[in-house]
Structure 1
Amino acid sequence: MTTTQPQKSPDSPVTDPLPSVGVGSKLLTRLRNLGGPVVGLVVMVVAMSFLSPFFLTSRNLSNIIAQVSDIGIMAAGATLVILIGGIDLSVAANLALTMMFSAWLFQVIEVPWPVAMILGLLLGMAVGLLNGALTSYGKVQAFAATLATMSACAGMALFITKGNTINGFPSWFSNLTSNVLGSVPVQGILLVVIYLLIGMWLRYRPGGRALYAIGGNEQAARLSGLPVRWAKTRVYIIAGGLAAVAGWVNISLLDSAQPTAGAGYLLNVIAVVVIGGASLSGGVGSMGGTFIGLLIIGVLNNGLSLLHVNPNLQQVVIGAVILAAVLTDRAGNRLRAA
């Protein structure tokens, strides 16, 4: 007795009985997505190791992580903002404001330093809430809203202490960034933990995955039932809180709070995110890519300093790298559209 197999219609979909999606293929896919930044980082490391005998020393590599830790923490929040198609120009000024506010509470009002740190964190999140409310509920363009808060934060940072630097923080706090675990500074550990937590949230939690949908097509995300306005506001709150955390690192490194701290950070923060492969139009980006972009900026700045390149020319080089990353992003957008 023979049995006949059911015939498939020509229009029926063909399925693969043995899916080949595994850990290895996922890793290869991620590496392909980060191919350009990874290759660029490798080339820079090899070139700098030949140009300077001091580059590949453990002490110098530890210095690179220490030097970019505060920028990297702010870039983590900036990545989330850019994922939804927004921009936060106030992040560096927010760092300065929260630093000076916490320092003022500690020195003038004599609030215990841990309490002053928490209040500074809340202030940074409040600035982020204002940015989110203006852009999500007030329908103000992100560029205009965050430009206004940037100006206000920078002015308040100077007003609080009349432009004076505040010193004299607890020794235990200053010692945090002078200690190392092996050859990795403590702020480097903090940086990696923040990136891992946000990366897992983006990949495994619905609230994180929703950011890609909002950045890809906000109208479609809203029609799908996603809480678009709250999700966007929450992203700005996170970015503001991370700016305050970066301010803690800055105070610990310098053992002082300066109202002009972070004045040149904004360019580097945006550069890190864009070089890491995030699209300025939203919907594309990852924490892994941003971390690679952070290492590229760190290696570039450190290597140029070792080669005694004029600091003003370093900004020119970073600008050229940003331009190349933006042009690559536009080319990638055209390919995705095709």
Structure 2
Amino acid sequence: MLNKLRDQTVFKRNWLLSLLVSVGVWQFSVPVMGQMLLPYTPQLNAEELKEQGLQVAEEAAQLIRFQQHELALSRAKLATQLAPNEYQPWFILGTLYIIKQELDPGVTALEKALALQPEEVGIKFTLGNAYFQQGKYQQAATELEEGLKIKSDVPSAQFDLGNAYFKLGRMGEAIAVYQKAVDQQEDFWPAINNIGLIKYEQGNIKEAIQHWEKALEIDPEQAEPKLALGVALYVQGQKQQGLEFGETALELDSNYAELQHLKDNLWGEKLLKDTQTFLTTPQMRSVLTQLEGESSTTTENEEQTRDQ
């Protein structure tokens, strides 16, 4: 998950009143025939340009909060041109690129922001998340660790670090940092869910079930822990109950029937293998066929509506 821009980010507010207003009285003589009247261009010094850039950056940040990402992106780009030596415009631009899943330019902008402000934890956390999405798990872990040394009470950053450790095979450390996230935010079900994923791979199916049950106590409408719980119960011999959980999970989100989607959500080899077997049972195949039919009908209806 992406860290959001911190609400407490503060920008300077000594803005110019307008680029279009002269600081003095304009005085022009009447031009003779054929003489060109050159437009007045305000001469801004570096400090004024920086202030304008920070103002535009703040506007971009506000637009992000209202999910006006395209408008925010154009302003963030302008802000980096006006104030290239300030970290805020680069931070906002990088964050926008990450939101748009344009990872390479996002990482480039965030690295620029970090070079300008090496101790800014928000940049470190966002960059760590971006590195993770690029598959650079060690770099992700390094940035997140450094950020958490500065500010340790950020559950989302703890969760991201746990995911990086997970990918690096450092399972004990992953569990420990997921637990820190839960200690700081008791209803942080994704961290509880992922502890269950690790426990299952370690062969502790009973403990995995307990974690998925706890995640569902927090949010009963989450498909991922519901499907994982269904698979685990089925493997443990509680077949009918497991199938019921599986059916409900896929009705909530049929994407969880795709093994690649499960891999993207850190499901390990053992759980993936058991899930594949689970999904090929007659009951689950019937559920999937029904869901595919409903999806096809919905698509046809949407196309007919557009054609009308």
TM-score (norm 1): 0.21
Bigger relative contact order, structure 1 or 2 (CA pairs below 8 A, ≥6 apart): 1
